């Protein structure tokens, strides 16, 4: 598996394809809520499997001087449980560190809270709903 930063239109489309499959088709999130005004300012990541098929996606936005927000993390069903999510998150965290981010924030679907905890994130909010799905806010400090 390989994670890339989307730089071409095709790579961006590969990431959007994964997001549509997971969030819109599988989780029934309305497309107008999934694709938002932050797409152009975000750095997009795409995870490809060993057959060069896109199976994961996510994005990172810098929301203040040294704080980054990880968003839209998703893995296709066939790649779940393979380490794909961990690889994607480690790649995003590594990039964030390189660009001067020292604190990461994300809104996790509650079913994935344990996954993010194992990656060092801490829950800092009560449960809330986004697109009808329960979430919690989580943060992690990146060591220098």
76: nearest Cα among 31, 23, 34, 5:
23
| Tokens describing residue 86 | 């961990």
Q: Rounded to whole angstroms, what are the CA distances from 65 to 96, 99, 100, 133, 134?
A: 12, 10, 8, 30, 29
Is the CB of residue 39 less than 8 Å from the CB of residue 58? no
pLDDT digits (tens, 9 = 90+) for 69-80: 999 999 999 999
Q: What is the pTM (predicted TM-score) of this model?
A: 0.95
pLDDT digits (tens, 9 = 90+) for 57-68: 999 999 998 999
Domains and CATH numbers, the chain: 2-141 (3.40.630.30)
Is the CB of residue 61 less than 8 Å from the CB of residue 24? no
Is the CB of residue 142 less than 8 Å from the CB of residue 103? yes
- pLDDT by residue, tens only, the chain of 144 residues: 999 999 999 999 999 999 999 999 999 999 888 989 999 999 999 999 999 999 999 999 999 989 999 999 999 999 999 999 999 999 999 999 999 999 999 999 999 999 999 999 999 999 999 999 999 999 999 986
């Amino acid at each position: 598996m390989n994670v890339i930063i989307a730089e071409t239109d095709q790579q961006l489309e590969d990431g959007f394809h994964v997001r549509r499959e997971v969030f819109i088709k599988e989780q029934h999130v309305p497309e107008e809520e999934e694709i938002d005004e932050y797409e152009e300012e975000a750095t997009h990541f795409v995870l490809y499997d060993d057959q060069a098929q896109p199976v994961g996606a996510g994005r990172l936005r810098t929301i203040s001087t040294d704080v980054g927000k990880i968003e839209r993390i998703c893995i296709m069903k066939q790649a779940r449980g393979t380490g794909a999510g961990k690889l994607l998150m480690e790649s995003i965290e590594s990039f964030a560190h390189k660009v001067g981010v020292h604190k990461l924030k994300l809104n996790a679907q509650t079913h994935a809270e344990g996954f993010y905890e194992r990656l060092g994130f801490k829950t800092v909010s009560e449960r809330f709903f986004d697109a009808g799905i329960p979430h919690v806010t989580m943060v992690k400090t990146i060591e220098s």
